Amino acid sequence: MLWLCILPPPLDAAALQRLGWWAQQWSGDISVRAAEAEAAATRSDPSLRHDVLWLEIGASLALFGGLAALLARIEAALGELDYPFRHGMAPTPAAALLRARAGCSAPCADTAALQRSWRAFRLQWLALPEATLAALAASGLTRIDQVLALPSDALARRFGPATTRALRRLQGLEAEPLPRLGLPTRYHSRCEFAAEVHDTQALRFPLQRLLGEFQGYLRARDRAVQDFTLCLEHAHHAETRLQVGTAQPERAAARLLALLALQLEKLALPEGVRALRVEARRFTAPSVLQQDLFDAAVEQQQQWHETCDRLRAALGPGALSLPRLQADHRPERAYRYAPVADAAGSDHAPVAAPRPCMLLPEPQPLAAPPQLLAGPERIESGWWSGEDATRDYFAACDARGSRLWVYFDRQRGGWYLHGLWS
Amino acid sequence: MNRSALLEQLAERCRHGLRAAGAAPRYQPTGFTALDALLPGGGWPLGALNEIMPAQPGIGELSLLLPALIALARSGRYLALIAPPWLPYPPALAQRGLPLAQLLLVQPTTPRDALWATEQTLRCPAFGAVLAWPAQVEERSLRRLQLAAEAGGSAGWLYRPTHAAEASSPAALRLQLEALPAGALQVRIRKVRGGAPGAVVVHPAAAA
């Protein structure tokens, strides 16, 4: 076991939990403890109360290429989140916390090194109750190695069983009861600003942090998103909601940021922004295609998806669609245009009767019967659909040579233009 | 994939990249022998802008492109239709053999967005063909589109009104279309890069 303990700046409970989810990209065993809980547990000096994040990284070392490589990654990622933080590392959670508090970030990877290190740490870093610390100091005990040299039953008698328990946990002789952080099924994160932000450009930086956390969460769950929402909260106005949809599962913060940037560029803020929120409900399995760089077809598909995402972000989700066939003999119902993310294929066979390449959105009444070229093809709409109609369709042409698809409405009478043989 | 196969594939891609860099522009046969005979390279130029100027709609202006569109789609590339004045009718396109799964319809709300979408799709190598019905295009925008088509290697077809032929254009090929009796189509070449103007009659079989 090797524990990395991170002391972030003071956070609210939700933010601390999000930091925990973010950290799950490095380790499956994460615990967080809020400053209040810490204080309640120890009744210690307020200056020693911290929000604490623990990661068990011993099991992750091989995966990430060793301690130095893993630490470099974690430090770089923390730097991206722009949290000033302190950290410590030791074989026990308590010792890792002790080292983090003392500002000693040098790794201490094994128990032997840990035993040799006690001399360097003063007792006050142990966050014992203030009264206990005072009593220990009165006995001339200020360093950890000094108390550890004493017989534990004598210590327990004089300074209470809590003191010996803390020391046993410090050395790993007793397990530290840390609740392991689970994962939520919905994602929600929020970032509130000290002052209202009026320029969408200025939102980019906090957004980068929010999406960085989101990416960590997605990696930890081995999940990706195809749609999520960014909410911009205002003081008086209803919040501005930006929907982001991608054609294929996505989790790279940089790509999500690029898509949001396209929308933010065009956005006129009704009012300053007080807070940002990222919300996601639906998750999908990540796309394995992203890894395969050597297949031209895969690369082409990737490019197609990226272009679609860019178009959709700039033009709105309704602007893009894919044609599909539907099994229906009525010309208006024989197709639909589906959203790009809709993966369902169209496996219906098209009708055998000739159809024109272009269809008018609504049939248009014709003033005079056109010159008919071929037909009729009788199409009856179902009485069940409530629009009982019988139409005789013809290929026709007009005076200038345009070829038309027209029908005669047998119920109401009259000729209609429905398509063009473009 | 084992290591040697991977290296061989990489090498092949490098060779292909070198060939592509120095290669002459490629062409896609139109599917109409008479028209191919008039076009340098024997087909639609790829990586270039083509202008189609039909005298009126519904004379086979889309059917003229269908053989080439089908061939491009079957080679695995995508097709984009941008701001068509009517709805491309999927059952008709499927009947003619166009793989619908590779067709993307883009309906922007403003002419400016339509031009932007045309440029984006032309620039993306995944698209083999981009058909656009722009409201109005200035020569400067045409130049941008031509550059985008060169970058993406795709064929761009712009549908424009006949009077657009009076203004100059950087397009590689400009065609005027007129209806003839019995479904025939007169194709007049107003400009073709590396070739001479001319005219030919084709039968795009738009109608039954």
Are residues A363 and A231 both part of a single domain?
no
For residue A57, being part of any structural domain is answered with yes
In sequence order, the 6+-apart residues with CB closer than 8 A to the CB of A316 are B109
Quick one: which of B149, B143, B132 has its CA closest to B169? B143
- Compute the Cα dihedral for B75, B32, A355, B54 and give only its sign: positive
Write down which residue in A138, A171, A204 finishes a domain. Answer: A171
pLDDT-wise least confident of A31-45, A104-118, A215-229, A331-345: A31-45
Average pLDDT score over residue span B12-41: 72
Quick one: which of A380, A417, A412 has its CA closest to A395? A417
In sequence order, the 6+-apart residues with CB closer than 8 A to the CB of A187 are A214, A217, A228, A278, A279, A280, A281
Angle separating helix axes A152-159 and A161-171, nearest 10 degrees:
140
How many helices (H) and strands (E) chain B has is answered by: 6, 11
For residue A180, being part of any structural domain is answered with no
Give the single-character DSSP code of A386: T
Containing domain of residue A200, as a range?
A: 187-315
Predicted local distance difference test score (pLDDT) of residue A299: 77
Write down which residue in A112, A141, A171 finishes a domain. Answer: A171
What is the separation of C-alpha B95 from the centre of its chain, rounded to a whole number of angstroms?
Answer: 20
In sequence order, the 6+-apart residues with CB closer than 8 A to the CB of A362 are none
What are the chain B neighbours of A401 within 8 Å (beta carbons)? 55-56, 59, 178-181
Are the CB atoms for A322 and A338 separated by under 8 Å? Answer: yes
DSSP E strand boundaries for A15-122: 30-33, 52-56, 86-90
Residue B207, SS3? coil
Assess A357–B contact: CB distance below 8 Å, yes or no: yes
Average pLDDT score over residue span A406-418: 89
Distance (Å, rounded) from C-alpha B196 to C-alpha B39? 8
Helices (H), chain B: 3-22, 33-38, 66-74, 90-95, 111-123, 139-152
Average pLDDT score over residue span A242-246: 85
Out of B89, B121, B208, closest to residue A357 by CB: B89
Predicted local distance difference test score (pLDDT) of residue B20: 46
Closest CA–CA distance from residue A377 to any residue of chain B (Å): 12
Out of A346, A358, A374, closest to residue B86 by CB: A358
In sequence order, the 6+-apart residues with CB closer than 8 A to the CB of A283 are A218, A221, A223, A224, A225
For residue A341, being part of any structural domain is answered with no
Q: Which two tokens stand for residue A418?
A: 């429905």
Are residues A15 and A148 both part of a single domain?
yes
Out of B76, B77, B92, closest to residue A357 by CB: B92
Q: Which two tokens stand for residue B147?
A: 């550059």
Are B206 and A297 inside 8 Å of each other by CB? no
Q: Is the pLDDT of residue A237 over 60?
A: yes
Are residues A191 and A109 both part of a single domain?
no
Average pLDDT, chain A: 84
CB atoms within 10 A of CB A7: 20
Are residues A148 and A194 both part of a single domain?
no
Q: Is the pLDDT of residue B81 over 60?
A: yes
DSSP string for residues in A66-97 = SHHHHHHHHHHHHHHHT---EEEEESSHHHHH
Q: Which residue has the higher pLDDT, A403 or A340?
A: A403
In sequence order, the 6+-apart residues with CB closer than 8 A to the CB of A161 are none
Q: Which of B89, B104, B201 to mutate to test the interface with A (most CBs of A within 10 A)?
A: B89
- The rounded radius of gyration (Å) of the Cα atoms in chain B is 18
Are residues A31 and A114 both part of a single domain?
yes
Distance (Å, rounded) from C-alpha A307 to C-alpha A97? 48
Helix (H) or strand (E) holding A210: helix A204-221
Instruction: Respond yes or no on whether the N-terminal peptide bond of residue A354 is cis (omega within 30° of 0).
Output: no
pLDDT-wise least confident of A40-44, A203-207, B87-91, B139-143: A40-44
Are the CB atoms for B65 and A422 separated by under 8 Å? Answer: no
Are the CB atoms for A6 and A75 separated by under 8 Å? Answer: no
> Domain B25-202 class?
alpha beta
Closest CA–CA distance from residue B43 to any residue of chain A (Å): 21
Out of B9, B179, B207, closest to residue A395 by CB: B207
Predicted local distance difference test score (pLDDT) of residue A183: 67
Predicted local distance difference test score (pLDDT) of residue A24: 83
Span A307-360, pLDDT tens digits:
988 898 889 888 999 888 888 788 888 888 888 765 555 567 778 888 999 999
- The rounded radius of gyration (Å) of the Cα atoms in chain A is 33
Q: How confident is the model at residue B23 (pLDDT cuts 50, 70, 90)?
A: very low
Q: Which two tokens stand for residue A270?
A: 């009704």
Span A14-69, pLDDT tens digits:
888 888 888 888 887 888 888 777 666 666 666 667 889 999 998 888 888 888 88
Distance (Å, rounded) from C-alpha B3 to C-alpha B11? 12
For residue A347, being part of any structural domain is answered with no
- Compute the Cα dihedral for A216, A217, A219, A223 and give only its sign: negative
Write down which residue in A297, A315, A333 finishes a domain. Answer: A315
Are the CB atoms for A246 and A290 separated by under 8 Å? Answer: no
Predicted local distance difference test score (pLDDT) of residue B9: 67
Share of chain A above pLDDT 70, in %: 90
Of chain A residues 281-320, which have a CB less than 8 A from chain B?
294, 297, 300-301, 303-304, 306-308, 310-311, 314-316, 318-320
Q: Which two tokens stand for residue A65?
A: 């290429």
Distance (Å, rounded) from C-alpha A233 to C-alpha A276? 6
What are the chain B neighbours of A307 within 8 Å (beta carbons)? 120-121, 124, 126-127
Are B120 and A311 inside 8 Å of each other by CB? yes
Strands A240-250 and A335-338: unpaired
What is the separation of C-alpha B123 from the centre of its chain, rounded to a whole number of angstroms?
Answer: 13
Q: Is the pLDDT of residue A227 over 90?
A: no
Are B107 and A319 inside 8 Å of each other by CB? yes
Are residues A41 and A72 both part of a single domain?
yes
Q: Which two tokens stand for residue A93?
A: 């959670």
Q: Is B153 left (phi over 0), alpha (psi -120 to 50) or beta?
A: left
Out of A315, A373, A402, closest to residue B57 by CB: A402
Partners of A192 in beta bridges: A275
Are A403 and B58 inside 8 Å of each other by CB? yes
Distance (Å, rounded) from C-alpha B163 to C-alpha A400? 17
Are residues A218 and A269 both part of a single domain?
yes
Q: Read off the pTM.
A: 0.58
What are the chain B neighbours of A352 within 8 Å (beta carbons)? 95
For residue A164, being part of any structural domain is answered with yes
Are the CB atoms for A271 and A314 separated by under 8 Å? Answer: no
CB atoms within 10 A of CB B134: 19
What are the chain A neighbours of B181 within 8 Å (beta carbons)? 401
Distance (Å, rounded) from C-alpha B161 to C-alpha A213? 52
What are the chain B neighbours of A333 within 8 Å (beta carbons)? none
Distance (Å, rounded) from C-alpha A132 to C-alpha A109? 30
Average pLDDT score over residue span A186-208: 87
Looking at the 3D structure of chain A, how many domains does it have? Answer: 3
Are residues A204 and A156 both part of a single domain?
no
CB atoms within 10 A of CB B196: 9
Out of B78, B89, B127, closest to residue A355 by CB: B89
Phi, psi of A379 (to 5 degrees): -125, 125
Distance (Å, rounded) from C-alpha A168 to C-alpha A175? 8
Are A300 and B76 inside 8 Å of each other by CB? yes
Distance of CA B193 to CAs A54, A262, B172, B173, B189, Å?
Answer: 68, 37, 5, 6, 11
Quick one: which of B78, B84, B39, B154 has its CA closest to A422? B84
Average pLDDT, chain B: 87
Average pLDDT score over residue span A283-288: 70
DSSP string for residues in A314-329 = HH-GGGEEEEEE-S-S
Quick one: which of A307, A318, A79 has its CA closest to B126? A307
Strands B78-82 and B127-132: parallel
Span B188-203, pLDDT tens digits:
999 999 888 999 999 9
Are B121 and A307 inside 8 Å of each other by CB? yes
Determine the Cα angle at A50 with ends A46 and A52, to 5°: 155
Q: Is the pLDDT of residue B127 over 50?
A: yes
For residue A342, being part of any structural domain is answered with no
Predicted local distance difference test score (pLDDT) of residue A155: 86
